[in-house]
Amino acid sequence: MAEASTAMKKAQEIIGDVQGATKRKAAATTSTTVVEKAQVDEKYSDIDTNTFYKVVFNEKLDAMQKKQEIAKALSFDPEDKTRSQEILKEFVLFKEYLQNERKRLAQEIIKLTDTGAFSELQGVIEELNGGILEFDRQMTPLTEIIDAVYKLRLQGGETVLGVFREIKEDQAAEEDRIKKLAESENKLQDLQRRSEGVNGDLSVLKTSRSHRKWFGLGGLKDDAIREISSKEGELTALGGDVEATVKQVETLKDPNTARASEFAEFAAEKAKLRELLDLTSEQHKARQKGLVASAQDFVNKSDNRVGNVVVHLDAMTGQIEGLSNVNNGMQSIYAIVSEASKDASDKNQTIRDGFLPPKEGAESPIEQMQRENKKQAAEEYITALDGSTVDTMKTYQDLTSQAIRIKQMKDANRDQVAKTRELHSSGIAGVADRLSTVLQAVSAAALNESTEAAKMSISTMNDKTNAVAMKESIRTAMGVKDSAAGLAKAVDDLAAYGEVLRTSSEITREGVKEIKQGLSTLEDSIKKTKKDLQDAYAVNAEVAGGAPTVATNDDKPVERKAAAPKKEGVGANFGQFNK
């Protein structure tokens, strides 16, 4: 244990180093602390003259030599009982000094205790958890929008288009609601102004003397009564209009008036899609920038906070090392003192045994008295030294237990420092990587949904154009079919016309035959009629001149008398038309 004397000095040096490292923190302590450091216990002001102090802190002696010197000093001198008692007092004082130094060094280390630990804990919990909540606040709306678009997309293009159409209709309805609300509010204000005006007119009509009889002293004039009645009726009508308009305004103030929806089961997704559409492109950029900023802020805060924890743990390492060195130094000293006390106790026991009564021979009363006095002094010395030895062993045991606790502290602190340094390096880098991956994934998901939405929109447009094209094709085909049907009808019509023509031709042919026959008959009839007509003209003449025999109907010729010659220039000559 040659390092016993240097262990204490090394402990003090380490404490001094820790104090230097925390000089700024120590400067903030109260002036009382500085005064306490300056105080020196007068009881130990000349401890360097102590026999045991000089032996223990003599760097020229090794542990065995120190043990031998202490054991020698603690050996009872029967010839100088007073000196032995003084040496024992010095021994007790030296142990008290050791306990005082142990206490003082522990207090110095206590002063170096990290008072910012709980502040750091508060900062870590506040800032890092706050950062998580902020990141989640920024992230959630974006992921909800992506999830909503994804869910709608899975339902098909018509669902997306239908929801989009309803959103546009909702927006138009909302604009219409706001417009009608403004109009209703303006109307309400106008009605209220008119009501106030009518009330004012009524007040004047009822109170003005100019509307009373007998120079303003009598009752209301008839025209005033009629006007008041008219105003009251007008006021009643305005009141009804005001009440109706107020109800209308209250109804229009509610923006959540339910509208019939074809996609009620996708109400939440529709709301998120509307949120996406209501914000401008710049607003969406700002939201994503906010998310990126919150991720960066979390990484920076984590780096700073964990770095601060590492600094505190490093300071704790120095403090624990100081405790360990103080403990080692004290253990070394108490080991030497304890071993020396045992050796001195054995030696003192031998000295005491030398004062036992002799087995043989007689001793004078004076010799007996002197022997017993020395024996009693040796026993008292042994008793006192044994008590001190027991106290020394208890302290040594306490120091050993403390050494175990310090080792556990060192092991725990070492592990914590290693974990914290790992957290500060790979942990922070890992969370930064994860955040970058998540942010890229969110952006990629948004772009993927953009691609899929575009694909779906184009597909929907294709479907619609195909439907129009197919409809037109069918319409064209139907036109061809109609043309074919028309042609067939024309053929049928022509066939019908042919049949008609044939029939009409036959009819015509028969008719022509009949006509010809009729004409022939008619011609004969005409001839006969003309003959009858001529005969009719000649009846009188023939009777006057002796009528010839008139032909009968048996077609025999009838004798006629020659007519008298006509005079020229008398009457028109119609006979020429008969030639």
Give the CA angle between residues 271, 272, 273 to the nearest 5°.
90
pLDDT, position 463: 74
C-alpha 371: how far from its chain's center?
A: 97
Residue count of the chain: 579
Do residues 242 and 195 touch, judged by C-beta distance below 8 A? yes
Instruction: At 572, give phi and psi (nearest 5°).
Output: -80, 155
pLDDT, position 31: 42
d(CA 235, CA 243): 12
From 424, 429, 131, select the one nearest 306 (Cα to Cα).
424
pLDDT, position 41: 65
pLDDT, position 65: 92
- 């000559």: which residue's tokens? 573
The residue extents of the domains of the chain are 156-278
d(CA 307, CA 318): 17
d(CA 12, CA 47): 17
pLDDT, position 576: 43
Do residues 193 and 229 touch, judged by C-beta distance below 8 A? no
C-beta neighbour count of 520 within 10 angstroms: 10
d(CA 67, CA 171): 98
Residue 531 CA: distances (Å) to CA of 335, 431, 523, 549, 557? 190, 139, 12, 16, 12
Tell me, letter by letter, the H, E, C secondary structure of 361-417.
Answer: CCCCHHHHHHHHHHHHHHHHHHHHHHHHHHHHHHHHHHHHHHHHHHHHHHHHHHHHH
- 């997309």: which residue's tokens? 153
- List, for the chain, all residue ranges whose pLDDT scores fall below the cut of 50: 1-4, 14-15, 18-19, 21-40, 547, 549-556, 558-579
